[in-house]
């Protein structure tokens, strides 16, 4: 059976090295011509990346654990209090899944409350990185990237 690599829309690359000097298209979708004709698939959309070095191809934004949380004085107590006070009835696997789901939602709220500005800083930095990566991918303007060479490293250093 012959398969086709579905064309990419949005961005040319989905992965970027931390120093920004290497980029690649790691994920590929190989579909048969028959499936493409029946389903009407015309391409795959690569969206902007967030704090990861990998652009999501499709789907909801995954939960991200920010290492800076570990440095906050209230983090351990917040997680411990939340975990201990959650209901724990049912099979162990179910209880674990439910506790993790509730912890995730609580951490999202806690992050906004404690690190609200962090989200805005990440968003503005990601926009600037997206612009630079777009220039690199389309025009190959390495000089513009080199002028901002430390931007991506500083961004990753702040997050990790």
- For residues 14 and 24, the answer to whether their CB atoms sit within 8 Å is yes
Is 59 in a helix, a strand, or coil? coil
Residue-wise pLDDT tens digits, 126-151: 888 878 777 776 655 555 555 555 66
Mean pLDDT calculated for residue range 104-114: 90
Q: Is the pTM of this model over 0.75?
A: no
Which range, 16-30, 88-102, 115-129, has the best average confidence (pLDDT)?
A: 88-102
Mean pLDDT calculated for residue range 22-32: 72
Name the band, by pLDDT with cuts 50, 70 and 90, for residue 89: confident
Residue-wise pLDDT tens digits, 32-79: 888 777 777 777 766 666 555 555 555 456 677 888 889 899 999 999
Higher pLDDT, 35 or 84: 84
Higher pLDDT, 22 or 73: 73
The residues, any chain, with a CB within 8 Å of residue 92's CB and separated by 6 or more, are none
The pLDDT value given to residue 52? 59
Q: How far is CA 65 from the centre of its chain?
A: 11
Is 160 in a helix, a strand, or coil? coil
Which backbone phi and psi does 114 adopt, to 5 degrees?
A: -90, -40
- For residues 36 and 2, the answer to whether their CB atoms sit within 8 Å is no
């Amino acid at each position: 059976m012959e398969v086709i690599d579905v064309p990419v829309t949005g961005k040319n690359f989905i992965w970027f090295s931390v120093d920004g000097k290497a980029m690649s298209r790691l994920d590929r979708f190989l579909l048969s011509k028959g499936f493409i004709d029946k389903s009407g698939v015309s391409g795959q959309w690569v969206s902007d990346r967030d704090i990861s070095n990998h652009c999501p191809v499709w789907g909801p934004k995954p939960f991200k654990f920010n290492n800076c949380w570990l440095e906050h004085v209230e983090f351990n107590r917040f997680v411990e209090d939340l975990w201990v006070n959650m209901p724990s009835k049912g099979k162990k696997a179910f209880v674990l899944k439910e506790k993790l789901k509730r912890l995730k939602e609580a951490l999202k709220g806690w992050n906004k409350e404690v690190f609200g500005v962090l989200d805005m800083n990440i968003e503005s930095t990601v926009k600037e990185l997206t612009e630079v990566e777009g220039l690199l991918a389309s025009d190959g303007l390495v000089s513009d990237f080199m002028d901002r060479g430390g931007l991506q490293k500083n961004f990753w250093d702040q997050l990790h």
